[in-house]
Structure 1
Amino acid sequence: MIQNYLTRIFGSRNERLLKGYRKTVAQINALEPQMQALGDEQLAAKTPEFRQRIEAGETLDALLPEAFAVCREAARRALGMRHFDVQLVGGMVLHAGKIAEMRTGEGKTLTATLPVYLNALAGKGVHVVTVNDYLAERDAEWMGRVYRFLGMSVGTILSQQPTADKKIAYAADITYGTNNEFGFDYLRDNMEYATGDRRQRGLFYAIVDEVDSILIDEARTPLIISGQAEDHTVTYQRMNAVPPLLEEMAAEPKSGEEEPPGDYWVDRKAHQVYLSEAGHEKAERILGEMGLLPAGASLYDASNISLMHHLMAALRAHTLFLKDQQYVVQNGEVIIVDEFTGRLMPGRRWSEGLHQAVEAKEGVAIQAENQTLASITFQNYFRMYGKLAGMTGTADTEAYEFQEIYHLETVVIPTHRPMIREDRQDQVFRTAKEKFDAILADIQECYARGQPVLVGTTSIENSELLSGMLQRAKLPHQVLNAKQHAREAEIVAQAGRPKMVTIATNMAGRGTDIVLGGNVEKQIDLLRADASVPEEDKQARIEKLRNEWQSLHDQVIAAGGLHIVGTERHESRRIDNQLRGRSGRQGDPGSSRFYLSMEDPLLKIFAGDRLKAIMDRLKLPEGEPIEAGMVSRSIESAQRKVEARNFDIRKQLLEYDDVANDQRKIVYADRNALLESDDVSARVGELRQQVFTDLFREYVPADSVEEQWNLEGLENALENEWQLPVPLRRMLQENEQLTDEDLLEAVLKEAERMYRSKVDQVGADVFAGFERSILLQTIDQHWREHLSSLDYLRQGIHLRGYAQKNPKQEYKREAFEIFGLMQQRIRSDVTRILMTVRIQSAEQAAQVEETVPPPQYTKVAYTHADFDPSVVEAADADPEAIALAVQNAPRSAEPAAQQPVRRFGQKIGRNDPCPCGSGKKYKQCHGRLA
Structure 2
Amino acid sequence: MGVSSRLKSRFQKFLQRPGTTVDLAPLQKRLPAVEALEEELKELDDAALTERAGEASEIVEICAIGREAARRGLDQRPYDEQILGVMALLSGKVAEMATGEGKTLTAAIAAYGHVRQGRGPVHVLTVNDYLAARDADWMRPVLTLLGLTVDSVTEASTPEERRAAYGCDVTYVSVSEAGFDYLRDQLVVDIADRVQRELSTAIVDEADSILIDEARVPMVLAGTVPGEQDPVHAAAALVKGLKRNRDYEIAEDGRSVAFTTEGTEKIEKKLDGIDLYADENFDQLSALNVALHAHALLHRDIDYIVRNGAVELVDESRGRVAQRRRWPDGLQAAVEAKEGLSATSEGEVLQTITVQSFIALYRTVCGMTATAVLVGDQLREFFKLEVAVIPPHKPNIREDLPDRIFATRQEKEDALVVEIGKAHEEGRPVLIGTRDVKESETLAAALEAKGISCVVLNAKNDAEEAAIIAEAGKRGAVTVSTQMAGRGVDIRLGGSDEADHDEVAELGGLYMIGTGRFDSGRIDDQLRGRAGRQGDPGTSVFYGSLEDDLIVRNAGDMIPPSPHMDMDGVVTDERVDYAVGHAQRVAEGVGHEIHRNTWRYNVVIEQQRVALSERRERLLTTDVAADMLRSKFPEETAEIDDEVLSKVSRSIALYHLDRLWAEHLSYLSEVREGVHLRALGKLDPLDEFHRAAVPAFGKIMPEIEDRTVDTFAEIDEVTDTWEPAQANLVRPSATWTYLVHDNPFGSELDRLIAAVGRRLVTGRK
Q: TM-score, normalised by structure 1?
A: 0.74
Deviation at 1:762, TM superposition (A): 3.0
Letter in 1 for 2:32: A
The residue number in structure 1 matching 2:33 is: 27
CA distance in 1, matches of 2:345, 2:354: 24
Local SS of the residue matching 2:214: helix
Aligned to 1:266: 251
Q: Secondary structure at the match of 1:335?
A: strand
Match of 2:446 among 456, 461, 469: 469
How many angstroms apart in 1 are the aligned matches of 2:25 and 2:565?
A: 53
Matched, 1:38 2:51: no
Q: Distance in 1 between matches of 2:712 and 2:253?
A: 54
Return the offset for 1:609.
3.1
SS, match of residue 240 in structure 1: helix
Instruction: Report the Cα distance in structure 1 between the residues aligned to 2:209 and 2:327, rounded to whole angstroms.
Output: 19
In structure 1, C-alpha distance between the alignment counterparts of 2:393 and 2:278, rounded to whole Å: 64
Specify the alignment match of 2:700 in structure 1.
822
The CA deviation string for residues 613-654 of structure 1, in whole angstroms up to 9 with x for no partner, is 2xx143767x51114555333211111110110011111111
2: CA distance, partners of 1:805 / 1:317: 31
What is the one-letter code of the residue matched to 1:670? R
Shift of 1:803: 3.2
Aligned to 1:656: 601
Measured on the aligned residues, the alpha-carbon RMSD in Å equals 2.3
In structure 1, C-alpha distance between the alignment counterparts of 2:442 and 2:565, rounded to whole Å: 28
The correspondence for 1:574, drawn from 507, 519, 522, is 522
2:591 partner letter: N
Distance 1:849 1:509 in 2: 55
SS in 1 for 2:231: helix
2-structure distance, mates of 1:162, 1:496 = 38
Which secondary structure state, in structure 1, belongs to the residue aligned with residue 77 of structure 2? Answer: coil
SS at match of 2:646: helix
Alpha-carbon distance in 1 for matches of 2:565, 2:54: 74
Q: SS state of the match for residue 251, structure 2? A: strand
Summarize deviations over 1:299-319 as a string: whole Å, max 9, x none.
251x32211220111111012
CA distance in 2 between counterparts of 1:652 and 1:508 reads 31
Q: Deviation at 1:488?
A: 0.6
The secondary structure found in structure 2 opposite 1:152 is: coil
Deviation track 1:95-131 (CA, whole Å, cap 9, x = no partner) reads: 1111111110111111112211011222730000111
Which residue of the partner structure matches residue 141 of structure 1? Answer: 137
Task: Please state how far the C-alpha of 1:435 moved relative to its aligned partner.
Answer: 0.7
Where do residues 799-814 of structure 1 align in structure 2 (5 Å cutoff)?
799-814=677-692
| Cα distance between partner residues in 2 of 1:484 and 1:510 | 16
Aligned match of 1:365: 342
**Hey, what's the Cα distance between the residues in 1 that align with 2:444 and 2:344?**
34
Match of 1:257 in 2: none
CA contact (8 A) 1:191 1:780 kept: yes
Which residue does 1:778 correspond to in 2? Answer: 656
- 1:169–1:629 Cα change, 3 Å: farther
SS in 2 for 1:591: strand
C-alpha separation in 1, matches of 2:577 and 2:393: 29
Letter in 2 for 1:650: H
Higher RCO, 1 vs 2 (CA within 8 Å, ≥6 residues apart) = 2
**Is the Cα contact below 8 Å between 2:563 and 2:572 reproduced in 1?**
no
Secondary structure at 2:352 match in 1: strand
1:771-815 deviation digits (Å, cap 9, x = unpaired): 000011111111111100000010001111233321101111210
Change (3 A) 1:349 1:406: same
Match of 1:299 among 266, 269, 277: 277
1:217 to partner: Cα distance: 1.5
Q: Within 2, Cα distance between the matches of 1:680 and 1:590? A: 66
Among 157, 167, 185, the alignment partner of 1:171 is: 167
- Tell me the CA shift for residue 439 of structure 1: 0.7
In structure 2, distance between residues paired with 1:414 and 1:628: 35
Q: Which runs of 5+ in 2 are unaligned?
A: 1-18, 738-765
Q: Which amino acid aligns with 2:342?
A: A
Tell whether 2:85 aligns with 1:79. no
Distance 2:108 2:657 in 1: 42
- Residues 310 and 341 in structure 2, CA contact (< 8 A), matched pair in contact too: yes
2:102 is aligned, of 91, 104, 107, to: 107
| Aligned equivalents of 1:310, 1:180: Cα separation in 2 | 30
The match for 1:665 is 610
Contact 2:79 2:393 in 1 (8 A): yes
**1:160 corresponds to 2:156:** yes
Which position in structure 1 is the counterpart of 2:55?
49
Distance 1:232 1:289 in 2: 25
Which amino acid is 2:424 matched to?
Y
Aligned pair count reads: 718
Question: What is the distance in 2 between the residues matched to 1:685 and 1:635?
Answer: 70
Is contact 2:565–2:573 with CA below 8 Å preserved after alignment?
no
- What secondary structure does 1:155 align onto? strand
Name the counterpart of 1:596.
Answer: 544
- Contact kept in structure 2, 1:463 and 1:503, CA below 8 Å: yes
- After superposing the two structures, state which structure 1 stretch, 626-635 or 493-502, moved more: 626-635
Asked if 1:842 is matched to 2:715, the reply is: no
1:852 deviates by 6.4
Q: Is the 8 A contact 2:711 2:727 kept in 1?
A: no
Matches within 5 A, 1:223-242: 223-229=219-225, 235-242=231-238
Residue 801 to residue 653, structure 1, CA distance change in 2 (3 Å): same
Q: TM-score, with normalisation over the residues of structure 2?
A: 0.90
Q: Secondary structure at the match of 1:329?
A: strand
Say if 1:562 and 1:590, in contact at 8 Å, map to a contact too.
yes
Q: Which residue of 2 aligns with 1:919?
A: none
Distance 1:802 1:820, change over 3 A: same
Cα separation, 2, equivalents of 1:229 and 1:38: 62
* 2-structure distance, mates of 1:218, 1:442: 35
Once the two structures are TM-superposed, the CA of residue 823 in structure 1 deviates from its matched residue by: 2.7
Deviations, residues 184-213 of structure 1 (Å, cap 9, x unaligned) = 111111011111111111111111111111
1:204 to 200, 217, 224: 200
Residue pair 2:630, 2:638 contacting (<8 A) in 1 also:
no
Match of 1:289 among 266, 270, 282: 270
Q: Work out whether residues 407 and 571 of structure 2, in 8 Å CA contact, stay in contact via their aligned partners in 1.
A: no
Q: Are 1:477 and 1:503, in contact at CA under 8 Å, matched by a contact in 2?
A: yes
How far is 1:223 from its partner?
Answer: 0.8
Counterpart of 1:625 in structure 2 is 570
Aligned to 1:452: 429
Q: Distance in 2 between matches of 1:628 and 1:818?
A: 57
d(CA) in 2 for partners of 1:13, 1:310? 49
- Structure 1 residues 483 and 847 mapped into 2: Cα distance closer, same or farther (>3 Å)? closer
**1:795 lines up with 2:667 in the alignment:** no
Q: 1:848 to 1:619 in 2, by over 3 A?
A: closer
For residue 86 of structure 2, what is the aligned residue in structure 1? 91
Q: CA contact under 8 A between 1:135 and 1:511: conserved in structure 2?
A: yes
Deviation, structure 1 residue 760: 2.8
Give 1:786's aligned amino acid. H
CA distance in 2, matches of 1:759, 1:349: 47
Instruction: Provide the residue aligned with 2:759 in structure 1.
Output: none
Q: For 2:384, which of 393, 407, 412 is the aligned residue?
A: 407
Paired residue secondary structure (2:237): coil
Q: 1:17 aligns to what SS in structure 2? A: coil
**CA separation of 1:375/1:442 partners in 2, compared to 1, >3 Å: closer, same or farther?**
same
1:442 Cα deviation after fit: 0.9
How has the CA–CA distance of structure 1 residues 628 and 381 changed in structure 2, closer, same or farther, with 3 Å as cutoff? Answer: same
Which amino acid is 1:589 matched to?
P
**CA deviation string 1:455-500 (max 9, x = no partner):** 0001000000011011111112111111111111011111111111
CA-to-aligned-CA distance 1:353-382 (integer Å, 9 cap, x gap): 001111111111122342211111111111
Aligned position for 1:609: 557
| SS of the residue 1:388 aligns to | strand
Q: Once the 2 structures are TM-superposed, how far is the Cα of residue 384 of structure 1 from its aligned partner?
A: 1.5
1:756 aligns with 2:701: no
Change (3 A) 1:483 1:96: same
Identity of aligned residues (%): 37
What whole-Å deviation, never above 9, does each CA across 1:281-313 have from its counterpart, x for those lacking one?
A: x4266235324x7x4x44251x32211220111
Task: Tell whether the 8 Å contact from 2:403 to 2:542 is kept in structure 1 after alignment.
Answer: yes
Q: What secondary structure, in the 3-state scheme, does the structure 2 residue paired with 1:664 have?
A: helix
Shift of 1:159: 0.8
**Partners of 1:856 and 1:234 in 2: CA distance:** 20
Q: Does the CA contact (< 8 Å) of 1:222 and 1:376 recur in 2?
A: yes
